[in-house]
Amino acid sequence: MRRLLIFSDLDGTLLDHATYDFTPALPAVAEVKARGGLLILASSKTASEMLSFHQRLGLGDTPMIVENGAACVRPAAVGSKDTDYRAIRQVLRTLEAPFRGFGDMSVAEVASETGLSEAEAKRAKTRQFSEPGLWHGDAHQRAGFLAALARHGISARAGGRFLTLSFGATKADQMARLAAQYAPAFTIALGDAPNDIEMIDLADRGVVIRNDHGPTLPDFPQEDRILRSTRPGPEGWREAVLRLLPEWDALQKGPVPHG
């Protein structure tokens, strides 16, 4: 029997873009749980930021993919390990580049740069595996900065505003590891932004949640495996998951014997 694994982005996908409410998705979450499936949250947020949503959704000991795929942690391990983060900060101190990370900012500065409340900004600064920040240099300096980071095994991914440094793992990397751990598995991945593309593409069935606040994701190499929701946020999440669960149900029945 294949294990049902649902990998889901948070902001704009399982959570409403403006209110962070996930209530409309709860009927579909209940159906996943009724089938013994796991809902695995996958976000650019820190584990500290994600823990409240994880607990309110009643996900027990299910692991979380955190900091845009930099790591995968279980709830009990939140905040217990920051070796990667300290290593990144140490390299930054040796480079003296025009990069200002969250570790260089006060809680008030992070709140100002992100639009988060100070309580949320404090959790966003509780980093274990990656360092987002603002680049203040020119293109030539940036190329040299990226090359220097690469020599230390650190990669940089550009988002809408921040340049995020990590040791290279992605949401898709963590998804593949979990799928292997729970094999055999049937995977569904849902997201709404460019940093979700690899994860959506890797799943047995990928879901693009309608995003009214950003660019539409381009067609995938195997677009026939992709479902695009007609509604945004948690309403689109519910729509897509309830539509795909019958496919998993059919797999459990297996082929009809002949003769």
Any idea which residues carry the catalytic annotation?
A: 9
Question: 15 and 234 in contact (C-beta within 8 Å)?
Answer: yes
Question: 45 and 66 in contact (C-beta within 8 Å)?
Answer: yes
Which residues contact residue 136 at a Cβ distance below 8 angstroms, ignoring those fewer than 6 apart? 98, 99, 100
- Helix residue ranges per DSSP H, 35-125: 47-56, 83-95, 107-114, 118-124
Measured between alpha carbons, how far is 68 from 45 in angstroms, rounded to an integer? 7
Burial letters 72-83, b for 16+ CB under 10 A, else e: bbebeebeeeee
Which residues contact residue 47 at a Cβ distance below 8 angstroms, ignoring those fewer than 6 apart? 64, 66, 67, 71, 73, 77, 78, 79, 126, 128
Measured between alpha carbons, how far is 137 from 134 in angstroms, rounded to an integer? 9
Question: 38 and 31 in contact (C-beta within 8 Å)?
Answer: no
Indicate the residue type of 69.
Answer: G
Question: 66 and 123 in contact (C-beta within 8 Å)?
Answer: no
Place of tokens 């992709």: 226
